[in-house]
């Protein structure tokens, strides 16, 4: 919050995840979770307070999706860059051939140390865990 006071020349980027509203936003869309209504308005304003305070001093803002950026008032929306923050699951995916070996510690069986997915080798050497 005070980074610009300590280092005035340091660029400040903020994460503009969502601008909360008491109706027609992240609340009030599912009958199981009714909107906060007027009674919830102060709570929603407090959730936005940190972002509102920082927009005035931020050099940049990022939001992970177009929808999330669109929840912000127009004055802020123009300053938000949409940059997805997720994982590229085409590049980062489980490898069924991967093996992780764990040595036995302090006389305890490696299987006991490694958990239920561990398999002991016949020789009693370290367990092999397949993820």
* Per-residue pLDDT tens over the stretch 49-73: 999 999 989 999 999 999 999 999 9
9, pLDDT greater than 90: yes
Between 80 and 1, the more confident residue is: 80
The answer to the question of residue 126 being in a domain is yes
Asked if residue 44 and residue 13 are part of one domain, the reply reads yes
Residue 63 · residue 16 · CB < 8 Å: yes
Q: What pLDDT, on the 0 to 100 scale, is given for residue 22?
A: 74
Total number of domains constituting the chain? 2
Q: Say whether both 14 and 76 belong to one domain.
A: yes
Which pLDDT does position 113 carry in this prediction? 47
Same domain for 71 and 117? no
Range of lowest pLDDT (10-19, 25-34, 72-81, 93-102): 25-34
Q: What is the pLDDT of residues 78-120, one digit of tens each?
A: 999 999 888 888 888 888 888 777 766 555 544 444 455 545 4
Look at residue 90 and tell me if it is in a domain. Answer: no
- What does the alpha-carbon distance between residue 6 and residue 101 come to, in Å, rounded to a whole number? 47
- Domain range for 43 is 9-82
Same domain, residue pair 55 and 20: yes
Q: What is the rounded CA–CA span in Å between residue 14 and residue 80?
A: 9
Q: Which whole-number Å values give the CA distances from 123 to 9, 11, 97, 119, in the listed order? A: 62, 58, 21, 12
Residues 15 and 57 occupy one common structural domain: yes
Q: Is residue 34 part of a domain?
A: yes
pLDDT score for 86: 82
Residues 34 and 65 reside in one and the same domain = yes
Distance CA 45, CA 22 (A): 9
At 131 the pLDDT is 46
């Amino acid at each position: 919050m005070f980074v610009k006071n300590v280092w005035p020349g340091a660029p400040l980027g903020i994460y503009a995840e969502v601008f909360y509203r008491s109706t027609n936003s992240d609340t009030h869309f599912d009958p199981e979770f009714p909107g906060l209504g007027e009674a919830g308005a102060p709570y929603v304003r407090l959730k936005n307070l940190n972002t509102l305070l920082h927009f005035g001093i931020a050099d940049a803002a990022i939001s992970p999706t177009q929808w999330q950026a669109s929840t912000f008032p127009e004055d802020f929306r123009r300053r938000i860059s949409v940059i997805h923050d997720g994982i590229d699951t085409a590049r980062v995916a489980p490898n069924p051939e991967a093996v992780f070996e764990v040595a036995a510690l302090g006389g305890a069986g490696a299987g006991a140390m490694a958990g239920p997915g561990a398999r002991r080798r016949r020789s009693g050497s370290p367990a092999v865990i397949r993820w």
